[in-house]
């Protein structure tokens, strides 16, 4: 009986290893070492695989389903943080206040050298100073929110990761 269990385990393990290879190969193939975002993508994939396992019938832990929900929450926050969702909120607020074209820009020749300078289209508006102040204010708020979200993400990971096993 033990021999049959060992044989069964061997083939089941090989099936799982090939499944892992099929799932991970595209991610590894497209990975670069110069950008941390690829490492984040790999960590995200590993967490999602773990959540999938914990939601399956193969999981034995009493809190496996709750852990899987928590993992998925962390992954959603990770996606928002590393897609800069919070950092870019200021753009939507500016567009809401001043119109969709408020962040349009162009390049103008610089007088002192042969380079070009960025010029926001709102600089030609009568309320340009007001928009400039609001732009700075909203940008600072969005940046602070982005930083808080990133800190929260890694606090959640640090607090929970040792309990995410089955």
The percent of residues in the chain predicted with pLDDT above 70, rounded, is 98
Q: What is the pLDDT of residues 127-142, one digit of tens each?
A: 999 999 999 999 999 9
At 163, is the pLDDT very low, low, confident or very high (cuts 50, 70, 90)? very high
At 4, is the pLDDT very low, low, confident or very high (cuts 50, 70, 90)? confident
**Could you tell me the two tokens for 67?**
């852990």
**Higher pLDDT among residues 155 and 166, named by residue:** 155
Buried b (16+ CB within 10 A) or exposed e, 58-82: ebeeeebeebbebbbebbebbeebe
pLDDT of residue 109: 78
Contact 71, 61 (CB under 8 A): no
Contact 23, 49 (CB under 8 A): yes
Which H or E element spans position 59? none
Average pLDDT (112-138) is 88
Average pLDDT (78-100) is 96
Average pLDDT (82-98) is 96
Q: Is residue 145 predicted with pLDDT exceeding 90?
A: yes
Report the candidate in 145, 162, 147 with the shortest Cα–Cα distance to residue 70. 162
> Phi and psi at residue 31, in whole multiples of 5°?
-80, 145
Report the candidate in 149, 166, 5 with the shortest Cα–Cα distance to residue 79. 149
Mean pLDDT of the chain: 93
Where are the extended beta strands (E) located within the chain? 105-109, 116-120
Give the domain ranges of the chain. Answer: 31-163
Q: Is residue 101 predicted with pLDDT exceeding 90?
A: yes
**Distance, CA of 5 to CA of 2 (rounded, Å):** 5
pLDDT of residue 3: 87
Average pLDDT (53-81) is 95
Place of tokens 């991610």: 27
pLDDT of residue 133: 96
**Distance, CA of 103 to CA of 89 (rounded, Å):** 13
């Amino acid at each position: 009986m033990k021999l049959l269990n060992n044989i069964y385990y061997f083939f089941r393990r090989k099936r799982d290893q090939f499944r892992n290879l099929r799932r991970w190969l595209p991610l590894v193939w497209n990975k670069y070492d110069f950008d941390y975002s690829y490492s984040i993508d790999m960590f995200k994939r590993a967490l999602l695989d773990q959540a999938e396992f914990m939601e399956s019938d193969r999981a034995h832990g009493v809190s496996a389903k709750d852990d899987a929900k928590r993992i998925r929450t962390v992954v959603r926050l990770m996606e928002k943080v590393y897609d800069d969702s919070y950092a870019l909120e200021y753009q939507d607020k500016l567009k809401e206040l001043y119109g969709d074209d408020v962040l349009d820009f162009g390049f103008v020749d610089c007088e002192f050298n042969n380079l070009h300078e960025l010029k926001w289209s709102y600089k030609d508006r009568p309320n340009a100073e007001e928009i400039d102040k609001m732009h700075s204010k909203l940008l600072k708020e969005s940046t602070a929110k982005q930083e808080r979200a990133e800190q929260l993400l890694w606090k959640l990971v640090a607090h929970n990761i040792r309990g995410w096993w089955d």
